[in-house]
């Protein structure tokens, strides 16, 4: 059963400007693993913008309650390249309240826009 669906888009240049303008913002939005590629290189801005969109979409799929912490949701990448969500803390508590048992996430970025869709399944 689908409990919630969320979608979000982020303008990549605008997201980049926000990160440059606000020191420490990346550390408030992402956990360390999200900021780097498996090779250890810094993840590109388009990829980070898509991950930010996924966190926004996840909040929408949960009904956009207040009090969710950005770092309580993590966008991981499987060896196949497929994104996967890992939740803990505030996000896991809300998901449990709603009966979420599985997440489905899709990320994309093209033409200056990053997007994400999140489905919460019960």
Binding-site residues for Mg(2+), in ranges, read: 8, 56
Show binding-site residues.
Answer: 8, 56
Where in 1-122 does DSSP place strands (E)? 2-11, 73-77, 83-87, 102-110, 113-121
Continuous segment of H or E residues that includes residue 91: helix 89-98
Q: 83-87 and 102-110: which strand pairing?
A: unpaired
Distances (CA, A) of 74 to 1, 79, 111: 23, 16, 25
Spatial distance between the Cα atoms of 71 and 13, rounded to a whole number of angstroms: 22
């Amino acid at each position: 059963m689908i409990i919630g669906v969320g979608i979000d888009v982020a303008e990549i240049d605008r997201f980049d400007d926000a990160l440059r303008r606000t020191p420490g913002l990346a550390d408030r939005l992402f956990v360390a693993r999200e900021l780097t590629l498996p090779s250890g290189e810094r993840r590109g801005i388009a990829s980070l913008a898509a991950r930010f969109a996924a966190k926004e979409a996840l909040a929408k799929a949960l009904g956009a309650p207040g009090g969710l912490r950005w770092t309580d949701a993590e966008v991981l990448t499987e060896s196949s390249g497929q994104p996967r969500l890992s939740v803990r803390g505030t996000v896991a508590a809300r998901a449990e309240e709603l009966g979420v048992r599985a997440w489905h996430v899709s990320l994309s970025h093209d033409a200056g826009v990053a997007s994400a869709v999140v489905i919460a399944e019960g």
